[in-house]
């Protein structure tokens, strides 16, 4: 399920709890960058590799393999299962506002930073084990808000590791950023361009609540390079639990 498109109403509600800041988002680099597990550059071991997937000469022992047009949907699912952490960026030009997303994921936890037209930067921290979400607008409040979230709901963030490729319909293939991708259609009619090498989306097509169609790229992708530190909630951040009405 591609759910980031459905976050707009949810994010707008949360953002009304904070004043918009004048802090603009960082400029988006349009290049897609993928670093395989165990490699920072060709032949260079990743010293931050949390799963020690590289060997002594810097070659990943769990290397992704691209079978090109011989790839099966099952191969996509197998590559997806090898992903333990990722990072990507998206810009969605909605008719009323353009939303910029940065997404970090590692060990069942996700951090999302959003802004609307370059303003109102908000941080979200999702824990898939406890099914809790923390939102925080650092420019406008000293306190974060925590609440329950359902990973299967329409308001949940886009998490490519939760997409079931085997339940999709294969429509064909197409190169995106010089990477062959299989075009999959979900049960809800969304289209995913999934890399035949990494089992990770490079592009998505969806229709929003108002019937507008969007084609959105995943940019600056990084695979299996994060540690859990990248998705941790700041230790000194005061948190108010909306579900219990008490501090955390």
> Tell me: the pLDDT tens digits for 194-238?
999 999 999 999 988 888 899 999 999 999 999 999 999 999 999
Whether 60 has a pLDDT exceeding 60, the answer reads no
d(Cα 149, Cα 122) in Å, to the nearest integer?
Answer: 17
Q: Tell me, what's the pLDDT at 62? A: 66
Task: Calculate the alpha carbon distances from 135 to 12, 122, 165, 186, 241 in Å.
Answer: 12, 7, 30, 29, 11
Domain boundary assignment for the chain: 4-159+210-247
d(Cα 85, Cα 8) in Å, to the nearest integer?
Answer: 25
pTM exceeds cut of 0.95: no
Whether 16 has a pLDDT exceeding 60, the answer reads no
d(Cα 212, Cα 61) in Å, to the nearest integer?
Answer: 44
pLDDT band at 247 (very low <50, low <70, confident <90, very high): low
pLDDT band at 46 (very low <50, low <70, confident <90, very high): very low
pLDDT band at 156 (very low <50, low <70, confident <90, very high): confident
Percent of the chain's residues with pLDDT above 90: 59
Q: Tell me, what's the pLDDT at 248? A: 66
Q: What is the β-pairing status of strands 98-106 and 179-185?
A: unpaired
pLDDT band at 72 (very low <50, low <70, confident <90, very high): very high
Higher pLDDT: 52 or 133? It is 133
Q: What is the CATH number of domain 4-159+210-247?
A: 2.50.20
Q: Tell me, what's the pLDDT at 83? A: 97
């Amino acid at each position: 399920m591609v759910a980031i498109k459905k976050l707009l109403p949810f994010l707008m509600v949360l953002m009304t709890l904070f004043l918009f800041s004048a802090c603009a988002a960082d400029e988006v680099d349009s290049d897609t960058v993928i670093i395989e597990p165990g490699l920072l550059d060709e032949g260079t071991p990743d010293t931050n590799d949390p799963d020690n997937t590289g060997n002594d000469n810097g070659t990943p022992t769990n290397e992704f393999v691209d079978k090109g047009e011989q790839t099966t949907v099952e191969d996509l699912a197998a590559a997806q299962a090898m992903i333990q952490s990722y990072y990507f960026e998206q810009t969605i030009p909605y008719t009323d506002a353009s939303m910029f997303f940065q997404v970090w994921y590692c060990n069942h936890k996700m951090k999302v930073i959003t802004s609307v037209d370059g303003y109102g930067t908000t941080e979200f921290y999702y824990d898939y084990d406890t099914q809790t979400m923390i939102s925080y607008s650092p420019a406008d409040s000293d306190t974060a808000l925590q609440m329950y979230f359902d990973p299967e709901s329409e308001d949940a963030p886009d998490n490519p590791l939760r997409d079931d490729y085997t339940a999709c319909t294969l429509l064909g293939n197409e190169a995106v950023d010089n990477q062959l991708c299989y075009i999959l259609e979900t049960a809800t009619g969304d289209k995913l361009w999934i890399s035949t090498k990494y089992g990770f989306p490079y592009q998505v097509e969806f229709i929003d609540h108002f019937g507008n169609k969007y084609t959105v790229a995943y940019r600056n992708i990084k695979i299996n390079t994060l540690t859990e530190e990248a998705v941790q909630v700041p230790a000194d951040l005061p948190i108010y639990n909306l579900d219990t009405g008490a501090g955390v």
